[in-house]
Amino acid sequence: MTPQQFYEALKEFGIELTEEQKWQLHRYFELLVEWNEKMNLTGITEVNEVYLKHFYDSLLAFLMFKDIHKCESLCDVGSGAGFPALPVKIVYPHLKMDLVDSLGKRVNFLNHVIAETKLQNIKAYHSRAEEYADKHRESFDIVTARAVARLNVLSELCVPLVKEGGFFIALKGQTGDEELKESKKALETFGVEIIEVKHIELPEEAGTRTNIYTKKYKKTPNKYPRAYGQIKNKPIK
């Protein structure tokens, strides 16, 4: 997917990027490639692949989310190299964002991209998700994550951060349906209900995605999230 094809694909969802947004995405791509030479951020660095497998893939879940314009804040848990948060921020600049990652080097990269692309109301934080939840509990309209952990583990890290009435959106691959089945008790325990599951075939045979949308209908019990070792060793099933 060339950058031009990417712009055309967004137009199909009613999104026409400004020249500034196009520049921000391209600058992000340049920094990703540059920093990837000194630290492991991604195995995907060819421009057309980045636009398809990182930018477009990150955005699809939100382009298909009709409530995106009603939401004001988003937290991306386990941001890694900035997906999905940074492409979403560039395309939906009204969202105030926190990016959370446990590796300091990645956080430095994210904050450098934010500064270089002149993004506002967004910051990356060096923290484990369960520790970050202590101070930011039920603070966000949307909490999201892409390829961080299996859903029953991921939901315990993410859902405590979601406001009542807010959304937890999990970007998953081919195992999405299987993970959903094993996570029903966990999702119910943490106070969210499934509102939609979207199965998507990326263009150019780039893979299958399962994007899971849930809405929070009650507060998450205060004992969650547990310490990560407990979550990983004894996920709720």
Q: Answer yes or no: is 65 a known binding residue.
A: no
Mapped to the 3 state alphabet, what secondary structure does 68-86 carry?
Answer: HHHCCEEEEECCCCCCCHH
| Residue 6 marked ligand-binding | no
Cβ–Cβ under 8 Å, residues 199 and 145 = no
First-last CA distance in the chain: 39
Q: Is 130 annotated as a binding residue?
A: yes
In whole angstroms, give the CA distance from residue 156 to residue 159: 6
d(C-alpha 155, C-alpha 196), whole Å? 16
Q: Is 78 annotated as a binding residue?
A: yes
**Residue of 168, 175, 170 whose CA lies nearest to 208:** 175
The answer to the question of whether 115 is labelled as a binding residue is no
Handedness of CA 54, 70, 170, 156 (dihedral sign): positive
Which among 142, 146, 144 has a CA at the least distance from the CA of 163?
142
Under 8 Å between Cβ of 152 and 183 = yes
Provide the angle, in degrees to the nearest 10, between the axes of the packed helices 19-36 and 104-116. 150
**Gap between the Cα atoms of 237 and 1, Å rounded:** 39
Contacts of 222 (CB under 8 A, 6+ apart): none
Annotated binding site: 78, 83, 129-130, 146
Annotated binding site for S-adenosyl-L-methionine: 78, 83, 129-130, 146
